[in-house]
Amino acid sequence: MKRPRPTVTYSPSFTLVPTYECFNRCTYCNFRQERGAPWLGIKEARALLEPLCGQGIIEILLLSGEVHPRDPRRGDWFQRLYDLAALALDLGFLPHTNAGILTYAEMQALKEVNSSMGLMLENLSERLAVHRLAPSKVPGLRLEQLVWAGQLQIAFTTGLLLGIGETHAERLLTLEAIAQVHREYGHIQEVILQPYRPGNRQGYPGTTLPQEELLELVAVSQQILGPDIALQVPPNLVQDLASLLQAGVSDLGGIGPVDVVNPDYDQPVRSVLQEQLSRAGWDLQIRLPVYPHLWSTVSPRVRTVLERYTTGVLSHF
């Protein structure tokens, strides 16, 4: 009897950037712009999203720079996040917001219009030079976000940024912290192992993370995180995807037209990626931005849209 081929999942995605403005100054960043950068308008977002209806896109990733909590525009910024997620939901997409540090009340409100949310923990080390001008990268603040998401039962994605000056021990400490929060709340659906890759706009003189280190970390991550949490790598940022799948990676994240965080690295074309994976013995499979075991956690408003995808719609993609 022929054995079924192993599968690797991904989410058909499109990214909306509410604003590139950010008060953090991470030295590896190729995304941020200064205060005063334009904000994405609702009409502009609608013009981007409406043509995508019926085109196979499921997830709308709302990836925003951060407006400082004490900035008088903070309330307007948050309202824009909410309104953009609501627009995507109303158009039949499943929103996933990653907008940096939020208050408990902001997270609670965004749950109403998001199928899932996320925040890269990056690393719990307090000594990393790349974060010295990034107030919201204080490890305790970011870890608190994971706890709040658990208390609110928000399906959550987090991850590590690898190759920014951290040690192997600090990577393990960060993984263990994620595992501990998940053991308590059970809401972390995937952990991204994202290798640093140099870009054209950064100020960090780092080098590419060796493939051997990434492979080693995949194996260790499986042991620490356990089988409930999917391991994800961005396919445009890794060198030998097949070896990472064999090591235990099971997901490729949201794949869309552009990686706005790493614009120097083109996203793979789905048909080409599918062919490459097939030759390596793997099947590429679509998933939703909220994993099945966490479908029960979404708000009633999100559930209405989610059910359209859980009653056979995925078979048409």
Residue showing tokens 């099971």: 250
> What pLDDT was estimated at residue 208?
83
> What pLDDT was estimated at residue 312?
59
Separation CA 16–CA 14 (nearest Å): 7
Is residue 317 pLDDT above 50, yes or no? no
> What pLDDT was estimated at residue 240?
94
> What pLDDT was estimated at residue 199?
87
> What pLDDT was estimated at residue 3?
72
Separation CA 4–CA 251 (nearest Å): 18
Is 198 inside a domain boundary? yes
CB 78 within 8 A of CB 118: no
The DSSP result for the chain, as a single string, is -PPPPPEEEEEEEEEE-SB-B-S---TT-SS-B-TTPPBPPHHHHHHHHGGGTTTT--EEEEE-----TTSTTHHHHHHHHHHHHHHHHHTT-EEEEE-SS--HHHHHHHHTT-SEEE---B---S--GGGTT-GGG-HHHHHHHHHHHHHTT--EEEEEEESSS--HHHHHHHHHHHHHHHHHH--EEEEEEEE----SS------PPPHHHHHHHHHHHHHHH-TTSEEE--GGG-S-HHHHHHHT--EEEEE-S--SSSTTSPPPPHHHHHHHHHHTT-EEEE--SS-GGGGGGS-HHHHHHHHHHTTTGGGG-
Is 183 inside a domain boundary? yes
Is 163 inside a domain boundary? yes
> What pLDDT was estimated at residue 316?
39
Q: How far is CA 265 from CA 22, 63, 128, 235, in A?
A: 22, 17, 25, 10
The CATH number assigned to the domain holding 150 equals 3.20.20.70
Is 315 inside a domain boundary? no
Report which of residues 73 and 315 the model is more confident about.
73
Which range marks the domain in which residue 252 is found? 7-303
pLDDT of 193-216, one tens digit each? 999 999 888 778 877 889 999 999
Q: Poorest-confidence range of 42-46, 250-254, 297-301, 309-313? A: 309-313
Residues forming a β-bridge with 95: 60
> What pLDDT was estimated at residue 205?
81
> What pLDDT was estimated at residue 26?
95
pLDDT of 75-115, one tens digit each? 999 999 999 999 999 999 999 999 999 999 999 999 999 99
Split at pLDDT 50, 70, 90, the class of 2 is low
Is 310 inside a domain boundary? no
Give how many domains the chain has, as a whole number: 1
Residues 6 or more apart whose CB falls under 8 angstroms from that of 112 comprise 299, 301, 302
Is residue 136 pLDDT above 90, yes or no? yes
Averaged pLDDT for residues 225-232:
97
Separation CA 44–CA 305 (nearest Å): 23
Averaged pLDDT for residues 221-246:
96
Is residue 66 pLDDT above 60, yes or no? yes
Is 311 inside a domain boundary? no
Is 2 inside a domain boundary? no
Mean pLDDT of the chain, nearest integer: 95
> What pLDDT was estimated at residue 206?
78
Is 167 inside a domain boundary? yes
Averaged pLDDT for residues 112-130:
97
Residues 6 or more apart whose CB falls under 8 angstroms from that of 51 comprise none
